[in-house]
Amino acid sequence: LFSLSLLQKWALLALSACSILCCLCCLLGLLVAIGLTLGNQGRALLAPCSVASAGLAPVSRECPFDPTRVYMS
């Protein structure tokens, strides 16, 4: 039989390992996103901002992603 203290230590180790794995996955995703953004000089972020885009015409002529816009809640 495992003592409660030893069981708690193994549970803490397992949760720590899961946390490290999740952190590494998030870091990898962030690095890929930064790499893709720098690779195409940010053109993909503003690609849907053309005025000729028919999909955005009924809603508005504004860009759906405007990094210079100040949003207030």
pLDDT for 37? 84
> pLDDT for 6-62, tens place per residue?
889 999 999 999 999 999 999 999 999 888 888 887 776 656 555 554 454 444 555
Contact indicator for 65, 48 with CB cutoff of 8 Å: yes
Distance between CA atoms of 30 and 28, rounded to whole angstroms?
5
pLDDT above 50 for 70: yes
DSSP 73: -
SS3 20: helix
Its sign, for the CA torsion 58, 62, 65, 69, is negative
pTM of the model: 0.54
User: In the prediction, which pLDDT does 21 show?
Assistant: 97
